[in-house]
C-alpha cells in the first residue's frame, strides 16, 4: 500500500503499533521468540538456532501459536547468542542449537523457565530472568539504539510500530529553518568523533544556494574495535534513513548516499532492504506524504581504506577516485559531492535525529552534560567481562562504564588503562576513572570521545606495544598525499619498533615528542593530525614503561618478544623432556643439575637459539617455565 498523506501514515503507524504491542504482550494469543541477529551472534550460529526453533516448533504443532524472528543487536555480545521469549520477556543467553529442544518443551509448551540458560549475576550468583534487571542494562538509555534488539530490522511494519517516521512526519510540518533550529536546540553534536554541532553543519549547507545538494551518511566505521554504526544499521536501518531524510529536508537536498564499509555485508543488506521497503510504500521517492519534498537514498560501498572515514576522502571515494582527503576550505557544506553543497553525518548522529524531532529537542537535551547532550554508544571491548555495545547518557563516568556496566576486569587482573577514540584517541588511567564522559572533558584529559571504541587494558598489556600497534595501523592507512603524515608516521613507527626491540635510547623519546608535534601541526587531515595521540598519551601516563624498555631492556608486561626470555626454573623441573620435544628449534638441553626429590636432571633453554614461540611453556605440566 502506498502512503500518500500524513493521515494515511497515522493510521498505518496506529495499526503497526497495535500489532507490535500485541506481539510483545501476547494479546495476539501467541508466544514470540526473538533471536539476536547481530554480527557477533550470527558468528555464534544464531541462524542455525533460528532454523532449529522453526523445525522443533513445527514438529510439535506449535506453528500457529509461536512466531520466530531475528532482531538487531542486544548489545551484550559476550553472553550471546540471545533468545528472548515474549510476553514474559524471559532472556536466555549463550544458547546453542542443542538447547532449542529444551526451550521449546520446557518453556513454550509447559510455561517453565529453563533456569540453566538464565544470566547469572557474577557478584550475587542470582539468576536473572529479565533483561532490564541485569546490571549491564541498568544504566543504559537507548536513543541511537532505539529499537535495536526489539524490532525485526527487515520489517518496516515493526519499525513503524516502534516510532519510525514520526520524526520526518513532524519535520514536514515545519519549515527547514525550524527543523535546523530544533536540532540546534537539542545540542546534538556529531557522533563520528569530532563533535561538531549537527545543526550548525546543516545551517551552513542550508545557506548555500544550489540546484542540487546532497546528504551523505558516513558509515565507514574504520576504528578497530568499534562496531556501533554497524549495529545500528543492522538493528534499525529505518531510523538512519529517516534521519537522513530529515537532514535532506532541512538543507534542501533530494538525494542521499550511504557510504558503508564493504566489511559489513549484513548491515548493507538490511539497509538495502529498508530502502526498498520505504520506496515501495512511498516513504522514499517523489512527493513524500503528499508534500513537495522528494528524496532518494543510495548505497555506496567502501573498499577497505580507513582514511575514507575522513569526510572529504569519503566524497572522493564516492566519486570513484582514490580516497584521499581534500584541503579544507572549501568545506563540504560549500563544495562537497560532485562540487555541490553536502552535509556529511555519521550513522549514529543520523540515528539520533528522528528522536529529536519525534520527542522534541527538550527531551533529547534533558540527558547529558552542559556541553554534550543526549547519549553515546560505546563498543566496550578488550579486557573487560561484559564485552558489548552500550549506550549511556553523556556524563556517565568511566568507572560506571567499566565496572557497573562492563562488570570489571576478568581473572582478577588489575585495570591499567582505557583507550577511547581508537588510533586517534588516547588512553586514560585509573586516576581518571571518575571523570564524566563528554566531548570536551575527554579532550581536556588528553583523550577524545572518538567514534565510540572503548578498549580496556589490564596489567598484561604493554603500553609501548599498544602505541606501536596504533602507529602500525596509521602508517598502513596513511593515504600518502601529505608528507608529514606519510613520512612522519613511518619515522615514529621505526623509533617505536627500535624501543620494543630493546635498541632504543633516551634521545629517541625526545625525537618521538618532536615528531609527534610536527605531524600533528602539519598534516592535511585529521588522520595525520591525530596520529600521534596514542604516543603522546602513553608517554604521558606510562613514561616508566618506555624507560624500562630503553634502560633496563625489559618489557614489564612481558609482551615485547625481543625483550623477553623463557626460563626453566631448575628446582621445579622434573626433567621429563616434554618441552624439548615440543621445541621447534632444539633450543632445550639437559643440565647436570638434579633438583632435590627429582629423579632426572633439569633442562635449560639456550637464549640464543630460542625463537620465543612459547610452545615449551604451554607444554610444561609442572609450571616450571616462566617468561620474564
Partner 1 sequence: MQKLSEAAVKQINEICDRHANDKTPLMMILSDIQKEYGYVPVDVQEIVSEKTGISVAEIYGVVTFYSFFSLKPKGKYIIGCCLGTACYVKGAQQIIDKFSEILGIAPGETTEDGLFTIDALRCIGACGIAPAVTINGTVYPKMQVNQVQKVIDDYRSKED
Per rule CB under 8 A, is residue 188 in the interface with partner 1?
no
Per rule CB under 8 A, is residue 80 in the interface with partner 1?
yes
- Kindly state the smallest distance separating residue 618's Cβ from partner 1, in Å: 6
Per rule CB under 8 A, is residue 453 in the interface with partner 1?
yes
Complex with partner 1: residue 244 or 466, whichever CB lies closer: 466
Per rule CB under 8 A, is residue 69 in the interface with partner 1?
no
Q: Which residue spans within 394-462 are E strands per DSSP?
A: 415-420, 426-429, 453-458
- Map residue 325 onto helix, strand or coil: coil
Per rule CB under 8 A, is residue 44 in the interface with partner 1?
yes
Per rule CB under 8 A, is residue 623 in the interface with partner 1?
no
Contact with partner 1 (CB under 8 A) among 15, 552, 618, 622? 618
Give me the sheet containing 426-429, strands edge to edge: 388-393, 375-382, 453-458, 415-420, 426-429
Q: What are phi and psi of 474, to 5 degrees?
A: -65, -40
- Kindly state the smallest distance separating residue 477's Cβ from partner 1, in Å: 9
DSSP secondary structure, 510-545, as one string: HHHHHHHHHHHHH-SSHHHHTTTHHHHHHHHH-HHH
Per rule CB under 8 A, is residue 426 in the interface with partner 1?
no
Q: What are phi and psi of 543, to 5 degrees?
A: -55, -40
Q: Which residue has the cell 602505541?
A: 467
Interface mask (CB under 8 A) for partner 1, residues 316-335, using x and -?
Answer: -xxxxxxx------------
Q: Which of residues 210-269 bind partner 1 (CB under 8 A)?
A: 222-227, 230-231, 262-264
Among 333, 257, 256, 332, residue whose Cα is nearest residue 288: 256
Q: What is the DSSP letter of 216?
A: E
Are 232 and 377 in contact by the 8 Å Cβ rule? The answer is: yes
Candidates 244-252, 325-333, 357-365, 379-387; binding stretch for partner 1 (CB under 8 A): 379-387
Contact with partner 1 (CB under 8 A) among 3, 31, 40, 442? 40
Q: Which of residues 497-536 bind partner 1 (CB under 8 A)?
A: none
Query: CB neighbours of 172 closer than 8 A, spacing ≥ 6?
Result: 6, 249, 288, 289, 291, 293
Torsion of CA 412, 456, 430, 432, to 10 degrees: -150
Spacing of C-alpha 543 from chain mean position: 29
Per rule CB under 8 A, is residue 577 in the interface with partner 1?
no
Question: What span, in angstroms and rounded, lies between the C-alpha atoms of 147 and 19?
Answer: 15
Are 298 and 514 in contact by the 8 Å Cβ rule? The answer is: no
Per rule CB under 8 A, is residue 379 in the interface with partner 1?
yes
- Kindly state the smallest distance separating residue 67's Cβ from partner 1, in Å: 27
Per rule CB under 8 A, is residue 474 in the interface with partner 1?
no
Helix boundaries (H) for 26-106:
39-43, 46-59, 100-102
- Kindly state the smallest distance separating residue 232's Cβ from partner 1, in Å: 12
- Kindly state the smallest distance separating residue 75's Cβ from partner 1, in Å: 10
Complex with partner 1: residue 349 or 386, whichever CB lies closer: 386
Per rule CB under 8 A, is residue 455 in the interface with partner 1?
yes
- Kindly state the smallest distance separating residue 94's Cβ from partner 1, in Å: 11
Contact with partner 1 (CB under 8 A) among 275, 387, 519, 602? 387
Candidates 148-156, 428-436, 465-473, 541-549; binding stretch for partner 1 (CB under 8 A): 465-473
Question: What span, in angstroms and rounded, lies between the C-alpha atoms of 94 and 119?
Answer: 9
Per rule CB under 8 A, is residue 495 in the interface with partner 1?
no
Complex with partner 1: residue 41 or 284, whichever CB lies closer: 41
Per rule CB under 8 A, is residue 39 in the interface with partner 1?
yes
Candidates 102-110, 144-152, 299-307, 524-532; binding stretch for partner 1 (CB under 8 A): 299-307
Site size toward partner 1, by CB under 8 A: 53
Question: What span, in angstroms and rounded, lies between the C-alpha atoms of 582 and 568?
Answer: 14
How many angstroms separate the Cα of 46 from the Cα of each of 41, 51, 94, 236, 256?
6, 9, 10, 18, 32
Among 195, 201, 263, residue whose Cα is nearest residue 233: 263
Adjacent-strand bridge partners of 604: 589
- Kindly state the smallest distance separating residue 98's Cβ from partner 1, in Å: 17
Contact with partner 1 (CB under 8 A) among 161, 282, 341, 381? 381
Helix boundaries (H) for 66-126:
100-102
Grid cell listed for 190:
556529531
Complex with partner 1: residue 66 or 442, whichever CB lies closer: 442
Interacting residues with partner 1 (CB under 8 A): 39-40, 43-44, 77-78, 80, 222-227, 230-231, 262-264, 300-306, 317-323, 338, 379, 381-383, 387-388, 419, 422, 453, 455, 457, 461, 466, 469, 473, 479, 613-615, 618
Amino acid at each position: 500500500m502506498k502512503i500518500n498523506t500524513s493521515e494515511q501514515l497515522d493510521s498505518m503507524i496506529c495499526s503497526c503499533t497495535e500489532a507490535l504491542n500485541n506481539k510483545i504482550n501476547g494479546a495476539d494469543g501467541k508466544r514470540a521468540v526473538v533471536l539476536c541477529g547481530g554480527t557477533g551472534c550470527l558468528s555464534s550460529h544464531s541462524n542455525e538456532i533460528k532454523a532449529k526453533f522453526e523445525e522443533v516448533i513445527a514438529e510439535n504443532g506449535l506453528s500457529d501459536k509461536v512466531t520466530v524472528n531475528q532482531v538487531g543487536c542486544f548489545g551484550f555480545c559476550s553472553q550471546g547468542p540471545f533468545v528472548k521469549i515474549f510476553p514474559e520477556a524471559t532472556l536466555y543467553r549463550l544458547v546453542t542449537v542443542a538447547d532449542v529442544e529444551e526451550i521449546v518443551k520446557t518453556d513454550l509448551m509447559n510455561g517453565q523457565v529453563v533456569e540453566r540458560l538464565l544470566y547469572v549475576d557474577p557478584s550475587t550468583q542470582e539468576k536473572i530472568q529479565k533483561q532490564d534487571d541485569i546490571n549491564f542494562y541498568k544504566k543504559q538509555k537507548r536513543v541511537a539504539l532505539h529499537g535495536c534488539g526489539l524490532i525485526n530490522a527487515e520489517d518496516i511494519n515493526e519499525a513503524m510500530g516502534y516510532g519510525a517516521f514520526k520524526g520526518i512526519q513532524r519535520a514536514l510540518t515545519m519549515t527547514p529553518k525550524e527543523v535546523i533550529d530544533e536540532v540546534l536546540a537539542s545540542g546534538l553534536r556529531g557522533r563520528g568523533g569530532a563533535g561538531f554541532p549537527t545543526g550548525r553543519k546543516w545551517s551552513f549547507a542550508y545557506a548555500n544556494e544550489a540546484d542540487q545538494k546532497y546528504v551523505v551518511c558516513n558509515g565507514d566505521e574504520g576504528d578497530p574495535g568499534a562496531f556501533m554504526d554497524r549495529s545500528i544499521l543492522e538493528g534499525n536501518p529505518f531510523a538512519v534513513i529517516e534521519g537522513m531524510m530529515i537532514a535532506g529536508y532541512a538543507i534542501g537536498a533530494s538525494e542521499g548516499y550511504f557510504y558503508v564499509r564493504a566489511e559489513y555485508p549484513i548491515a548493507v543488506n538490511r539497509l538495502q532492504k529498508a530502502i526498498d521497503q520505504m520506496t515501495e510504500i512511498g516513504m522514499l521517492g517523489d512527493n513524500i506524504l503528499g508534500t513537495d519534498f522528494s528524496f532518494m537514498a543510495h548505497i555506496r560501498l567502501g573498499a577497505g581504506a580507513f582514511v575514507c572515514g575522513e569526510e572529504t576522502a569519503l566524497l572522493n571515494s564516492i566519486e570513484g577516485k582514490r580516497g584521499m582527503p581534500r584541503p579544507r576550505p572549501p568545506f563540504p557544506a560549500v563544495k562537497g559531492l560532485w562540487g555541490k553543497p553536502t552535509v556529511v553525518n555519521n550513522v549514529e548522529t543520523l540515528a539520533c535525529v528522528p528522536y529529536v524531532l519525534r520527542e522534541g529537542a527538550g527531551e533529547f537535551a534533558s540527558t547529558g552534560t552542559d556541553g554534550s547532550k543526549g547519549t553515546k554508544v560505546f563498543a566496550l571491548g578488550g579486557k573487560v567481562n561484559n564485552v558489548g555495545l552500550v549506550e549511556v547518557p553523556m556524563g556517565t563516568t568511566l568507572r560506571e562504564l567499566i565496572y557497573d556496566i562492563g562488570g570489571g576486569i576478568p581473572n582478577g587482573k588489575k585495570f591499567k588503562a582505557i583507550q577511547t577514540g581508537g588510533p586517534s584517541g588516547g588512553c586514560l588511567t585509573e586516576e581518571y576513572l571518575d571523570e564524566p564522559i563528554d566531548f570536551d572533558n575527554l579532550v581536556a584529559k588528553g583523550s577524545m570521545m572518538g567514534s565510540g571504541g572503548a578498549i580496556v587494558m589490564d596489567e598484561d598489556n604493554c603500553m609501548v606495544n599498544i602505541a606501536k600497534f596504533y602507529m602500525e595501523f596509521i602508517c598502513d592507512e596513511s593515504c600518502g598525499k601529505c608528507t608529514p603524515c606519510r613520512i612522519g608516521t613511518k619515522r615514529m613507527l621505526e623509533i617505536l619498533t627500535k624501543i620494543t626491540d630493546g635498541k632504543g635510547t633516551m634521545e629517541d623519546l625526545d625525537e618521538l615528542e618532536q615528531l609527534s608535534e610536527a605531524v600533528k601541526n602539519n598534516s592535511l587531515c585529521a588522520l595525520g593530525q591525530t596520529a600521534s595521540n596514542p604516543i603522546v598519551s602513553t608517554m604521558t601516563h606510562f613514561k616508566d614503561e618506555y624507560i624500562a624498555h630503553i634502560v633496563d631492556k625489559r618489557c614489564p608486561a612481558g609482551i615485547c618478544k625481543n625483550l623477553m626470555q623463557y626460563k626453566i626454573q631448575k628446582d621445579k623441573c622434573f626433567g621429563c623432556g616434554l618441552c624439548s620435544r615440543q621445541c621447534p628449534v632444539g633450543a632445550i638441553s639437559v643440565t647436570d643439575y638434579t633438583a632435590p626429590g627429582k629423579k632426572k636432571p633439569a633442562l635449560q633453554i639456550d637464549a640464543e637459539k630460542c625463537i620465543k614461540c612459547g610452545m615449551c611453556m604451554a607444554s610444561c605440566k609442572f609450571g616450571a617455565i616462566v617468561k620474564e
